[in-house]
Amino acid sequence: MLDCPWPGWDIDVLGTHVTLMSGAIVSIWVVGIALIAIVVPMARRRTRIPSGGQNFLEAVVVFVRDVIARPALHEKADAYLPFLTTVFVFVFAMNLIGLVPLESISLALGIHKTHKIGGTPTVVPTVAAALASLALLAILVSGLRNAAGKYHQKYGWSMSTCWALSPVLWFLSLSPPVPGLVGKVILVPMALLELVSALAKCVALLVRLCANMLAGHMLLAVVIELGLKAVRPMFLYAPHDPRFHAHGLYVIPICIFGNAALTLMELLVCGIQAFIFTIMTALFLGMYGEASH
């Protein structure tokens, strides 16, 4: 299972089963509380010469600005920098939380086994879909705002009128400019095609993040299971048979080394997937969030 819902923490809303609490939801709360407790004090502690945590936070912001925001959004990068930085840090932290043994800690504290905590929230399709929906919402809000502002400046229409017409104006602006009668004929079909393309790209965000994180965790689980299968005969079937001990002497170290190497690789994957998710969000904002395509 990708997630472990808590018994008794579910309701039916209009015929749809809704889980109110699960292991992944607890992990999201842990990540949110930890980021608020760590990042907010760092951001408020402003000094001329940064040090410690403030230095690290500044490096993260500069990385998102120079590597992600500016190449995709150019002069409008600073306007989207808070959103993109939040997305990068939040996705990265949710990827990392899966490597923390929260479930083992909960069992050590005596929490009932049916109320499991821990796990990587981004391997749950609904969580990845919620993150992709944030990207889609940012595209829609940015596109509607820019469309309304463009027509307000160009034609002098009132902002209330521009906001009321902004969905239609933004939709039509998605079509590439083609002069003449042909451009007028293909205006709506091309705009519709671009709208579907924007939705498909947001779905791609969901699939890429969820599938890559799930694949890494499954690979770790396979290596751990191989180690357990090598150890189990030593203690269950023939604990005094030297053949099993010799077998474990070379199998167990290989599994431990492989697990450590894959864990380090998983750390790299956590950062890469957060980077890819954020830079693709920035690219989609630049492609579809502007009033002119």
From residue 127, give the alpha-carbon distance in Å to each of 1, 33, 58, 70, 268: 14, 17, 28, 28, 21
Phi-psi region of 113 (alpha: psi -120 to 50; beta: other; left: phi over 0): alpha
Give pLDDT tens digits for 21-67. 777 888 888 888 988 888 888 877 666 666 677 888 888 889 999 99
Q: What pLDDT sits at residue 92? A: 92
Q: What pLDDT sits at residue 170? A: 84
Rounded to a whole number of angstroms, the distance between the first and last alpha carbons of the chain is 42
- DSSP for 74-141, written as a single string: GGGHHHHHHHHHHHHHHHHHHHHHTTS-HHHHHHHTT--TTS-----GGGSHHHHHHHHHHHHHHHHH
Tell me how far apart the alpha carbons of residues 108 and 222 are, in angstroms, rounded to a whole number. Answer: 24
Q: What are phi and psi of 170, to 5 degrees?
A: -70, -40
Select from 143, 155, 184 the least CA-distant residue to 293.
143
Burial class, 92, CB count within 10 angstroms (exposed 0-12 / middle 13-18 / buried 19+): buried
Q: What pLDDT sits at residue 114? A: 62
Extract the tokens encoding 90: 């939040």
Q: What pLDDT sits at residue 85? A: 92
Burial class, 119, CB count within 10 angstroms (exposed 0-12 / middle 13-18 / buried 19+): buried
> Which residue positions in the chain have pLDDT lower than 70?
1-2, 45-51, 101-115, 118, 220-221, 223-252, 255, 258-259, 290-293
Q: What pLDDT sits at residue 248? A: 56
Q: What pLDDT sits at residue 246? A: 56
SS3 12: strand
Select from 59, 37, 212, 202 the least CA-distant residue to 132.
202
Select from 97, 37, 87, 41 the least CA-distant residue to 64.
87
- CA 46 vs. chain centroid, Å, equals 29
Residue ranges per structural domain of the chain: 10-134+200-288
SS3 19: strand
Q: What pLDDT sits at residue 293? A: 45
Q: What pLDDT sits at residue 243? A: 56
Q: What pLDDT sits at residue 14? A: 74
